[in-house]
Amino acid sequence: MKKFALLIIAAVAMAMTAHAQKFALVDMEYVLKNIPAYEMANEQLNQVSQRWQREVDELKKEADTMYKNYQADMVFLTDEQKKKKEEEIVAKEKEATQLQYKYFGPQGELFKKRQSLIKPIQDDIYNAVKKVSEERGFQVIFDRASSQSIIFASPRIDVSNEVLAKLGYSN
């Protein structure tokens, strides 16, 4: 009987503390769409990414052309010439792969560019969310855009517009 009473008291205490916590939602997609600097940074990233991809594609195309020419001329080449052509093709393919890794690898140029353009915006948003949380007494603010488990949430707990206001943007 004592265990049952303790269990009931613990359940009531947990329910009371859970009820006392305040939480809110922020829609990061909405916030980001309303920040012109983010849109400009994304456009800049897309442009540089496309330019770099064209460079990589050109090298791959050169390697492919070299290989097709090699196949067409193979019957006329000596073993030494074949070996030389094969080495040139492999070198060109390797060059394309290295350039692709340099631009698009885990610590590549695109990653660094994204960090330099997007991270300051993300930091500003984080600080604005933190200010809203401190001012309104929220213990937790969830990202509505990335949470697939939120089926319904009252618009009253969405603080996205407050975050935008803290950043100096208003709708």
Q: Is 168 helix (H, G, I), strand (E, B) or coil?
A: coil
Q: What local confidence, expressed as pLDDT, does residue 150 receive?
A: 75
**Number of neighbouring beta carbons within 10 Å of residue 160:** 22
Alpha carbons 144 and 150: distance in angstroms, whole number: 7
What pTM value is reported for the model? 0.69
Domain locations along the chain: 19-167
- Could you report the per-residue pLDDT of 113-153, keeping only the tens digit for each? 999 999 999 999 999 999 999 998 989 888 887 777 777 77
- Exposed / middle / buried, residue 163 (Cβ in 10 Å: 0-12, 13-18, 19+): buried
Q: What local confidence, expressed as pLDDT, does residue 7 receive?
A: 46
pLDDT band at 66 (very low <50, low <70, confident <90, very high): very high
Alpha carbons 128 and 161: distance in angstroms, whole number: 11
Task: Yes or no: say if 139 and 23 are a contact pair by the CB < 8 Å rule.
Answer: yes
